[in-house]
Amino acid sequence: MVPWLELALDLQRPDVRFRLVGSGQAGKPSALRVVVTNASSTPIMVTGACLTLGSACLELSASGTVAPKAEENIPAQVLEWPSRSALTGATAEVTVELLSGGTFTYQAVVELESRALYERDFTLEGLE
């Protein structure tokens, strides 16, 4: 019997950027996109995302594979779109797995907009 050792290289955190982009009507189901820019030389798998509104985490079922040196839009659904006030100060995290193993969590830039059911334009023009 010959003993052997298995060496594992330290996993390096890939250079990946994330943005959550979308617009929806408050309280209604809407879609958003997780824009993934993979600047690394290794493919990655997005396995989930969490939009944090205050103390609550809204889990997003975003999943997909992004090739090396590529940008992808991964769709995700929100069952109840947050209000403008809830989106104030919102943060997001995206979880990534490497095909070779290893899991990393990244902060994402939140670019979400909530539309009101009714918009009121109020101007003082003509009031003289």
What fold does the segment set 16-114 form as a domain?
Immunoglobulin-like (2.60.40)
Contact, 81 vs 70, CB < 8 A?
A: no
Q: Which amino acid is at 97?
A: E
Is the pLDDT reported for residue 83 higher than 70? yes
98 beta partners = 44
**Range from 1-10, 39-48, 68-77, 106-115 carrying the lowest mean pLDDT:** 1-10
Q: Mean pLDDT of all residues in the chain?
A: 88
Q: Provide the 3-class DSSP secondary structure of residue 49.
A: strand
Identify the CA nearest to 18 among candidates 51, 53, 42.
51
Q: Does the model's pTM come out above 0.85?
A: no
Domain parsing of the chain, residue ranges: 16-114
Structure tokens at 75: 């769709």
pLDDT in tens, 94-113: 999 998 889 999 999 999 99
Which is nearest to 43 in space by CA: 67, 64, 63?
67
